[in-house]
Structure 1
């Protein structure tokens, strides 16, 4: 069990052993945060409220969106441990020969990546709070709602990314699918801009998809745009997506066991 979970630290160790990559990550995140803060201050220079958000809420939402996206921005390509690489090299067969089931290995690697990304996000959050760049949660209840929905939102995102990676077992390459998922996730989850700024039909459409549950809901609770009384309803929606996607990806894993296609093996 301990050996299995040691795989969770592969990405973090690779980053920590490369100071230049750490410096690059810190610089990139700092620039992104600076530009986002400047952008929202500029957009609110001639108005007090837009989309139900005031300037402080908009800035906090934008900063949190940048930090949240950091959780999935780990670079596993250099370590050659992405599904698409494993299939191209032919080494994907070892995932099915190890004592550790492939879905368990994938899960533990993903947990490690997210924890590493969370460390960066938490550090950035503390710095932004201390610097007065953004406001703290709207209330204690809002902070609790944010924490719970954010955790479930990351679970939904995990299964969406997993489902995209699983496409490699049938399509060999999933580059286009990854690009589509990233764009859809950033747009429909409120990563580019809060969904509250979009037309009603767009908000209705996004509510029918799982992306909104990954980011928009938690951040809306944090800034006070969603009342804490709405928490049970949003938790039910998030749990629905987690259970549904978990069942679907587990089924796909079982199908993948019977057809391992590799270009290199």
Structure 2
């Protein structure tokens, strides 16, 4: 009788194959769905912000049909609604997440990021995909309601729709990479609270999430439009509203892609350095 051959060992790369890693993308949406009060809170924040923006723009424009810096009242409201949907859902989600380097360093569980078969960088990247999907669900739901109620205007052309969708996808990559770089500073600063506050302020101001960059002075806009923050909200929303023509979208898309590549390379470098500087506060 032939003895059974020994079982073939499963390599870590096989154990952490694509199907298993892919499931991490659904971890964030499923977690948020399990904590429904957070969904209610996010809905309240978004609805309140949209309501205040609508009141603001209608009060400023009044009954006139004039345009200011190329935007009429309908475009301004559409811009602010979409900017709120793109920014608020992502920011609220990041604030509620406990899967950050800062929180993991504090309780000591950051060590598990570097002993799993799945690399820490890849683990966070798949979670980032889940965060992007969750934020996109909020955007699609809000956009559908806005279009149905007439609060949000449709894009001027199908070409504008296509480039806006592509720009939004590139913006989500930049959004994730900015948040990742800020989070990784915890390996050197112990807490990233100060950096978070600074970057959050820059994100709110320079992304057009608070006030469209078109309303700022020319010198401020000339600088702000070429920073990575503008790639997250200002560019995709401006393409959607037609404030940036679809025919002129090539340069803006290329700049978004360039920022995505540069920030990704910076993230890879910081991951490499962080792995050599593993600091645990919780034991």
* TM above 0.5: yes
Given the superposition, is the C-alpha separation of residues 78 and 207 from structure 1 closer, same or farther in structure 2, using an over 3 Å criterion? Answer: closer
Instruction: Using the TM superposition, give the Cα deviation of residue 78 of structure 1 relative to its aligned residue in structure 2, in angstroms.
Output: 5.5
CA contact (8 A) 1:74 1:113 kept: no
CA deviation string 1:147-180 (max 9, x = no partner) = 1111111111211111101101111100111111
Match of 1:193 among 196, 204, 211: 211
Instruction: Using the TM superposition, give the Cα deviation of residue 55 of structure 1 relative to its aligned residue in structure 2, in angstroms.
Output: 0.7
Instruction: Using the TM superposition, give the Cα deviation of residue 25 of structure 1 relative to its aligned residue in structure 2, in angstroms.
Output: 2.3
1:142 and 2:160 correspond? yes
Rg larger in structure: 2
Mean CA deviation greater in 99-108 or 10-19: 10-19
1:21 and 2:38 correspond? yes
Matches within 5 A, 1:103-252: 103-252=121-270
Instruction: Using the TM superposition, give the Cα deviation of residue 6 of structure 1 relative to its aligned residue in structure 2, in angstroms.
Output: 2.0
Instruction: Using the TM superposition, give the Cα deviation of residue 81 of structure 1 relative to its aligned residue in structure 2, in angstroms.
Output: 1.8
Instruction: Using the TM superposition, give the Cα deviation of residue 105 of structure 1 relative to its aligned residue in structure 2, in angstroms.
Output: 0.6
> What is the SS of the residue equivalent to 2:145?
helix
Count the aligned residue pairs. Answer: 265
1:92 and 2:92 correspond? no
Match of 2:81 among 43, 63, 66: 63
Instruction: Using the TM superposition, give the Cα deviation of residue 74 of structure 1 relative to its aligned residue in structure 2, in angstroms.
Output: 4.3
Unaligned runs of 5+ in 1: none
TM-score by length of 1: 0.95
1:40 and 2:62 correspond? no
TM-score by length of 2: 0.89
Mean CA deviation greater in 12-21 or 104-113: 12-21
Given the superposition, is the C-alpha separation of residues 76 and 239 from structure 1 closer, same or farther in structure 2, using an over 3 Å criterion? Answer: closer
Distance between the aligned counterparts of 1:62 and 1:77, measured in 2?
22
Distance between the aligned counterparts of 1:187 and 1:224, measured in 2?
21
Instruction: Using the TM superposition, give the Cα deviation of residue 76 of structure 1 relative to its aligned residue in structure 2, in angstroms.
Output: 5.6
CA contact (8 A) 1:172 1:262 kept: no
Q: What's the RMSD between the two structures over aligned residues? A: 1.6
CA contact (8 A) 2:207 2:231 kept: yes
CA deviation string 1:122-154 (max 9, x = no partner) = 111101110111210111111111111111111
Distance between the aligned counterparts of 2:182 and 2:96, measured in 1?
20
CA contact (8 A) 2:42 2:92 kept: no
Given the superposition, is the C-alpha separation of residues 180 and 17 from structure 1 closer, same or farther in structure 2, using an over 3 Å criterion? Answer: same
CA contact (8 A) 2:101 2:110 kept: yes
Distance between the aligned counterparts of 1:17 and 1:96, measured in 2?
27
Distance between the aligned counterparts of 1:124 and 1:91, measured in 2?
36
